[in-house]
C-alpha cells in the first residue's frame, strides 16, 4: 500500500490529510476518517487506516481546519459547524478520487468525531456506512462527567473568549486534558495519561483550544440524529468511558434503524491501544466486509461481531 499527503478545499481554506491505497486497485469503497476533541491524525489514526488499507480499502484521513497540518487561523479553533463543514468537504473530495466508487463512502469517527459522523451521514444522505467509536453523543452527559467546579471554570473561560472574539483579539484558551477539578475539557482520572498515550514519541500534541467551545458542548447532541441514519452503522462503545458516558451513548444509538452496538469493557482511551485495539479493529473490518465489501455487492449483515 502507499500513503501520500493530500489536501482539499474546505470553505475559504483547506484541510490536510493522508490517502492510503493499493497500487492498481480496482474501483471500490473509501473510508474517510478524522480524530476527536482537539486531536490530530498522527495520534493513532494510522494504526486503523493501515489495517483498512491492507484489507483493500482506500482510506482518506484528514485534520480539521485550525489543527495539525491543515490551514486556518487562529490555531486550535474548535468550531463544531466548521468541523461538520470539513466532513462535507472530505466526503466530496473522497468521491472525486480516481478509483473510488462514489456510492460507497464510509465515515469513521472516534470520540468527538464519533458524533460528527452521525450528523455528517444524515446531512449527506448517500453515505454507505458509518463506524462510530467511543462516540460523543450527548453534551449534557459529557459535562456532568467533568463536575460542577470544572463546569463553572469552563463557563467563565468560554465567556471571556467570546468577548475576545467580538474584539477580534487572540482567543482565551482552555486545556484539552487535566485532572479532576481543573479547567480542562477532559478531567477524568484517566484523561491526561490516556490522551498522552496516543501521542507518537517525539511529537508535540495539541494541548489547548479556544475556550468558546465550552459553551457549545452542552448544546451539542449528535446522538439524537442516530434515529435518522439510513445507512448501516457500527457503534463501538467503551463501557468504562469516563469522557463520553456509555449509558447516554447507548440510549441514543440503539435508535439507529440499521445500527449494531458492540460493547467493550474498556475505557475511553484504552480502546485505541492493545489489547482492545485488535478486537475493535477486527470488529470494524468484519462490519466493513459485510456491509461495504471491497468488490461486489454487500454480503448482508450476518457477520458476527464479538464484544
| Residue 306, in any domain of the structure | no
Q: Between vectors from CA 77 to CA 110 and to CA 47, what angle results, nearest 5°?
A: 30
| Residue 248, in any domain of the structure | yes
Res 305 pLDDT > 80? no
| Residue 128, in any domain of the structure | yes
Q: What is the mean pLDDT of residues 182-210?
A: 93
CA distance linking residue 80 with residue 187, whole number of Å: 21
Q: Strand (E) positions, the chain?
A: 2-10, 13-21, 28-34, 58-62, 100-110, 129-133, 173-177, 184-186, 208-210, 233-238, 259-264
What DSSP letter does each residue of 43-66 carry, written as one string? TTHHHHHHHHHHTT-EEEEEPPTT
Q: What pTM was computed for the model?
A: 0.94
Average pLDDT of the chain? Answer: 94
Per-residue pLDDT tens for 15-25?
999 999 988 88
Res 250 pLDDT > 60? yes
Q: Which residues of 85-115 are buried (b: 16+ CB within 10 A; e: fewer)?
A: bbbebbbebbbeeeebbbebbbbbbbbbbbb
% residues pLDDT > 70 (the chain): 96
The pLDDT of residue 79 is: 97
Please identify which residue in the block is written with the cell numbers 492498481: 24
Output the CA–CA distances (angstroms, integers) from residue 126 to 66, 110, 123, 254, 293, in the order listed: 27, 21, 9, 21, 17
- Name the more confident of 294 and 146: 294
Q: What is the mean pLDDT of residues 250-276?
A: 97
Per-residue pLDDT tens for 83-112?
999 999 999 999 999 999 999 999 999 999
The pLDDT of residue 282 is: 98
Res 9 pLDDT > 50? yes
Backbone phi, psi, residue 156, to 5°:
-60, -45
Res 185 pLDDT > 70? yes
Where residue 282 sits, what CATH number does that domain have? 3.40.50.1820
Orientation of helix 139-146 relative to helix 148-166, angle to 10°? 110
Res 302 pLDDT > 60? no
Q: In what order do the strands lie in the sheet with 173-177?
A: 184-186, 173-177, 208-210
CA distance linking residue 65 with residue 78, whole number of Å: 9
Give the confidence band of 148 by pLDDT, cuts at 50, 70, 90.
confident
The pLDDT of residue 286 is: 98
The pLDDT of residue 136 is: 97
Residue 76 belongs to domain spanning: 17-140+221-291
Q: What is the mean pLDDT of residues 136-153?
A: 89
| Residue 37, in any domain of the structure | yes
Res 213 pLDDT > 50? yes
* Least reliable range by pLDDT among 19-28, 192-201, 278-287: 19-28
The pLDDT of residue 142 is: 86
The pLDDT of residue 297 is: 53
Orientation of helix 139-146 relative to helix 246-253, angle to 10°? 180
* Count of alpha carbons within 13 angstroms of residue 111, beta-carbon side: 24
Q: Between vectors from CA 244 to CA 183 and to CA 196, what angle results, nearest 5°?
A: 60
SS3 content of the chain, % helix, strand, coil (to 5): 35, 20, 40
The pLDDT of residue 23 is: 84
Residue 14 near residue 67, CB atoms below 8 Å = no
| Residue 161, in any domain of the structure | no
Give me the residues paired with residue 78 across strands: none
Per-residue pLDDT tens for 39-49?
999 999 999 99
| Residue 200, in any domain of the structure | no
Look at the chain and report how many structural domains it folds into.
1
Per-residue pLDDT tens for 49-70?
999 999 999 999 999 999 999 9
Q: Which residues of 156-170 are buried (b: 16+ CB within 10 A; e: fewer)?
A: ebbeebbebbeeeee
CA distance linking residue 17 with residue 79, whole number of Å: 19
| Residue 207, in any domain of the structure | no
CA distance linking residue 146 with residue 208, whole number of Å: 16
The pLDDT of residue 143 is: 81
The pLDDT of residue 298 is: 44
Instruction: Pull the grid cell for residue 179.
Output: 485532572
| Residue 185, in any domain of the structure | no
Amino acid at each position: 500500500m502507499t500513503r501520500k499527503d493530500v489536501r482539499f478545499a474546505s470553505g475559504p481554506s483547506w484541510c490536510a490529510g493522508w490517502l492510503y491505497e493499493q497500487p492498481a486497485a480496482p474501483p471500490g469503497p473509501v473510508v474517510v476518517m478524522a480524530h476527536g476533541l482537539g486531536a490530530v491524525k498522527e495520534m493513532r489514526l494510522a494504526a486503523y487506516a493501515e489495517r483498512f488499507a491492507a484489507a483493500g480499502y482506500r482510506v482518506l484521513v484528514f485534520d480539521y481546519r485550525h489543527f495539525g497540518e491543515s490551514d486556518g487561523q487562529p490555531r486550535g479553533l474548535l468550531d463544531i459547524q466548521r468541523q461538520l463543514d470539513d466532513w462535507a468537504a472530505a466526503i466530496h473530495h473522497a468521491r472525486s478520487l480516481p478509483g473510488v466508487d462514489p456510492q460507497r463512502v464510509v465515515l469513521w469517527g472516534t470520540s468527538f468525531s464519533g458524533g460528527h459522523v452521525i450528523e455528517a451521514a444524515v446531512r449527506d444522505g448517500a453515505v454507505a456506512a458509518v463506524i462510530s467509536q467511543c462516540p460523543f453523543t450527548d453534551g449534557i452527559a459529557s459535562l456532568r462527567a467533568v463536575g460542577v467546579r470544572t463546569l463553572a471554570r469552563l463557563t467563565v473561560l468560554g465567556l471571556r473568549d467570546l468577548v475576545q472574539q467580538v474584539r477580534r483579539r487572540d482567543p482565551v484558551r482552555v486545556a484539552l486534558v487535566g485532572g479532576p477539578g481543573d479547567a480542562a475539557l477532559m478531567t477524568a482520572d484517566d484523561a491526561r495519561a490516556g490522551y498522552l498515550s496516543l501521542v507518537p514519541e517525539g511529537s508535540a500534541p495539541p494541548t489547548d483550544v479556544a475556550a468558546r467551545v465550552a459553551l457549545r458542548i452542552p448544546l451539542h447532541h449528535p446522538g439524537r440524529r442516530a434515529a435518522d441514519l439510513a445507512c448501516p452503522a457500527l457503534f463501538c462503545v467503551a463501557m468504562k468511558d469516563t469522557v463520553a458516558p456509555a449509558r447516554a451513548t447507548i440510549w441514543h444509538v440503539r435508535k439507529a434503524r440499521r445500527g449494531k452496538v458492540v460493547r467493550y469493557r474498556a475505557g475511553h482511551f484504552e480502546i485505541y491501544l492493545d489489547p482492545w485495539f485488535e478486537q475493535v479493529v477486527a470488529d470494524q473490518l468484519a462490519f466493513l466486509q459485510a456491509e461495504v465489501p471491497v468488490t461486489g455487492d454487500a454480503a448482508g449483515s450476518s457477520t458476527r461481531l464479538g464484544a
